[in-house]
Amino acid sequence: MEMLSVKNLSISFGGLHAVDSFSITINKGELYGLIGPNGAGKTTVFNLLTGVYKPDMGQVILDGENITGRSTIEINKAGVARTFQNIRLFKNMSVLDNVKCGLHNDNKYSTFAGIFRLPSYFKTEKRMNEQAYEILEVFGLEKEAKILSSNLPYGKQRKLEIARALATNPKLLLLDEPAAGMNPSETEELMETINLVRKQYDVTILLIEHDMKLVAGICEKIFVLNFGIELANGLPQDVLNNPEVIKAYLGE
Amino acid sequence: MKNQVLNLKTRVMNINKSTRSNAVTIGGILIAYVVCTALINSGNMSNLLRNLLVAMCYYSIMAVSLNLTVGILGQLSLGHAGFMCIGAFTGAFFSKITVNTINNTFIRFTLAILIGAVAAGLFGIFIGVVVLRLKGDYLAIVTLAFGEIIKNVLNVFYIGYDSKGIHFSMKDTASLNLEEGGMVVVKGAQGISGTPRNSTFTIGVILLIITYLIIVNLVNSRSGRAIMAIRDNHIAAESVGIDITKYKILAFSISAALAGVAGVLYSHNIATVQSTKFGYNTSILILVFVVLGGMGNLRGSIIAAIILTVLPEYLRFMQDYRMLIYAIVLIVMMIFNWGPACINWRKNHSLKDLTKKLMKAKKEA
């Protein structure tokens, strides 16, 4: 079953074709890797998929629903969540509150109920706390729940970002360089976490990564992008041995 | 018995940190209130200070409400006095035309406060929709302009009423065409005079506590988290599906409505309300309270507002040097509050540590 189907997605900035005819089909539950040299347009693809940029051409279909050209908020509500290359946490809020922001749209009560502490406030907050702690436990962050998110060590900040994205209950999770800046043992731990998340939350994942060990280790399929154009697409062993990919990105 | 005391102690320690901090603030306000009332009743308070008590309350409300926009939403607004102006005028207008029909002061004043808050809140929504797509300096400039517009437009309003209803003009009192026996309520630059002086220190303190609770409860709720998420990182907030426009306008209008409450309190405290009082200077003054007390720190806002309301009055004996000293005090307060060396010093010399040390010494002895 197709979770995400992208056809001929293109965008140009001035004369630069940042992404040109990007097409990809991701099946439900798959873990897809998106790799390529710096400036290849990987993050631009993420920005197109999440509505940060409006595509010049092409269409994006998520689980049978056409989400092309919608706003970021609507796309998130449709079921796409993402993390960022440079961490974007809510720095002055606690770890728990960061995750509860992710739960924002699924647990509603009115502002009035919040200010005047009506019963719906207590009921919903309790449920949100339970859900948030559940997610934090998956990432091993439950002990740090009350501390400020900016006081977390780097690796845990990356994890918290994934936790916050997962809290929005997405169908498709986009991870932008989740292992950037991590040491080998942290990367290893992250791989385990990603596998665990897939099992527990039944989520389809598309990730950008430069760490080939991680990509080859967990991705079921790989897409290689170079100068905004598809270079290769398929199973890891085929893609990573493709002479063009080796020439353009991996190095001989 | 001893166990029970210990139990109570751990229970108190386990209460949410923010709840404890709220208890400290509200407790502080109440203690200050009791002390002030005792001083008034025993006749030990100077007239100067007694006349400032209500002013402290409405300036504190203004500071706390502006903190919602500046500290918690993270948007710089320089037009906050404009909302106070709307609250002051609508509240005073209502009180003036109903002073003979609604005899119960409590009901009339409560209604006046609600009307002032709603009017200012509506203006907050209206202005918020227009200006909140701007950010930073641009937003500051536009809010400044709106504040001035409100002030200057109200400056030429003439409103009167007679048996036929309310008459309105922007020229002069004569063009209102009032019947004989009609009353001019708003007289252009002269504003509204003769508003019933219902504001008391007690009401001021109650309103301050209500304002404080509204903002604290808002901050610790779902909407408050959304507002702070927008402040911390609006791109990430969008990516988790938080409706940025909605929550910006929500915070801005609540802040405006509370400023309207302060305005009603103001207009029922003095003989004449004039729109020129709500200019740029007042907006900046309130922003100074917020910055000095700390962005997002409500207790700090209240303390700064109180100190900076009282201080200029007590510096009057210095005549021309008054504002010079005022400026120096601002700088000293700023350094004491936010200088890294001072923060460290405060940490090492906190009251908590001192009591702990004393307890230890006592035990050893």
- Separation of alpha carbons A96 and B18, rounded Å: 14
Q: Which residues of A touch B216 (CB under 8 A)?
A: none
| pLDDT of amino acid B176 | 80
| Nearest CA-CA partner of B59 in B349, B320, B312 | B312
Same domain, residue pair A165 and A185: no
Question: CB count, 10 Å around CB of B320?
Answer: 6
**Last residue of some domain: A147, A169, A191?**
A169
What lies within 8 Å, CB to CB, of B223 at 6+ separation is A111, A114, B247, B250
Interstrand relation of B158-162 and A229-234 (parallel, antiparallel or unpaired)? unpaired
User: What is the pLDDT, as a whole number, of residue B99?
Assistant: 85
> Do the domain assignments include residue A128?
yes
Q: Are residues A182 and A160 in the same domain?
A: no
> Average pLDDT, stretch B34-45?
91
Is the pLDDT at B14 greater than 60, yes or no? no
Nearest CA in chain B to A150: B232
- Determine, for residues A108 and B236 on separate chains, whether the beta-carbon distance falls below 8 Å: no
Strands A204-208 and A172-176: parallel
**Per the domain annotation, does B103 fall within a domain?**
yes
Residue A239 to chain B, least CA–CA distance (Å): 31
Is B332 strand, coil or helix? helix
Closest CA to B214 of A116, A120, A118, A124: A116
Q: Are residues A192 and A213 in the same domain?
A: yes
For residues B177 and B109, state if they share a domain: yes
Give the span between the Cα atoms of B222 and B245, in whole angstroms: 16
| Whether residue A251 is found in the same domain as residue A201 | yes
Query: What's the CA gap between A83 and A105, in Å, rounded?
Result: 18
Of A47-51, B25-29, B136-140, B225-229, where does mean pLDDT reach its minimum? B136-140
Question: Do B321 and B279 share a structural domain?
Answer: no
DSSP letters, chain A, are -EEEEEEEEEEEETTEEEEEEEEEEEETT-EEEEE-STTSSHHHHHHHHTTSS--SEEEEEETTEE-TT--HHHHHHHTEEE--SS----TTSBHHHHHHHHTTTTS---HHHHHTT-HHHHHHHHHHHHHHHHHHHHTT-GGGTTSBGGGS-HHHHHHHHHHHHHHT--SEEEEESTTTT--HHHHHHHHHHHHHHHHHH--EEEEE-S-HHHHHHH-SEEEEEETTEEEEEE-HHHHHT-HHHIIIII--
How many domains does chain B fold into? 2
Domain boundary among A130, A149, A169: A169
Are A75 and A178 in the same domain? yes
Task: Give the β-pairing of A57-62 and A16-27.
Answer: unpaired
How far is the C-alpha of A20 from the C-alpha of B14, rounded, in Å? Answer: 57
CATH number for position A174: 3.40.50.300
B326-338 pLDDT, tens digit per residue, is 888 888 888 887 7
Residues A94 and A216 in one domain: no
Confirm whether A84 is domain-assigned.
no
For residues A53-61, give the mean pLDDT.
Answer: 93
| CA pair distance B143, B120, nearest whole angstrom | 14
Query: And the tokens for B303?
Result: 């303390």
Q: Are residues B253 and B321 in the same domain?
A: no
Say which residue, B171 or B242, is predicted with more confidence: B242
Closest CA to A165 of A66, A59, A90: A90
Does the pLDDT of residue B9 top 60, yes or no? no
* pLDDT over 80 (residue A166): yes
Q: Could you tell me if residue A145 is inside a domain?
A: yes
Q: Which residue in the set A116, A124, A164 is minimally distant from B240, CB to CB?
A: A164
Considering only CB atoms, which chain A residues are within 8 Å of B241? 73, 76-77, 104-105, 168
* Residue A50 lies inside a defined structural domain of this protein: yes
- Chain A: nearest CA to B15, how far in angstroms? 13
- Condensed to tens digits (0 to 9), the pLDDT of residues A98-154 reads 999 999 999 999 999 999 999 999 999 999 999 999 999 999 999 999 999 999 998
**A88 to chain B: nearest residue by CA?**
B236
In the predicted structure, residue A171 carries a pLDDT above the cut 90: yes
Shared domain for A71 and A17, answered yes or no, is yes
Testing the interface with A: which of B239, B249, B258, B295 to mutate, by most A Cβ within 10 A? B239
Nearest C-alpha neighbor of B220 from the set A124, A19, A177, A234: A124
Which ipTM was obtained for this model?
A: 0.92
Domain membership of residue A108 as a residue range: 89-169
Q: Answer yes or no: do A178 and A214 share one domain.
A: yes
Instruction: Give the whole-angstrom CA distance, residue B150 versus residue B79.
Output: 9
d(CA B26, CA B22): 6
Residue % of chain B over a pLDDT of 90: 55
Q: Residue B46: what pLDDT? A: 87
Residue type for position A210: H
| A26-51 confidence digits (pLDDT tens) | 999 999 999 999 889 999 999 999 99
For residues B178-203, give the mean pLDDT: 86
Q: Do A111 and B235 touch (CB under 8 A)?
A: no
Task: Out of A76, A89, A111, name the one closest to residue B241 (CB).
Answer: A76
**Identity of the residue numbered B139:** L
Domain boundary among B309, B324, B350: B309
Q: Is residue B1 part of a domain?
A: no
CB contact under 8 A, B231 and A92: yes
Q: What is the mean pLDDT of residues A13-24?
A: 91
Are residues A175 and A165 both part of a single domain? no
In chain A, the number of structural domains is 2
Q: Do A90 and B229 touch (CB under 8 A)?
A: yes
Whether A4 contacts A61, CB under 8 Å: yes
* Closest Cβ–Cβ partner in B214, B232, B240 for A93: B232
Is the pLDDT reported for residue B7 higher than 70? no
Structural domain for B259, as ranges: 10-309
Q: Which of B217, B220, B240 sits opposite A168 (nearest CB)?
A: B240
How are the residues of chain B apportioned to helix, strand and coil, as percentages rounded to the nearest 5?
A: 75, 5, 20
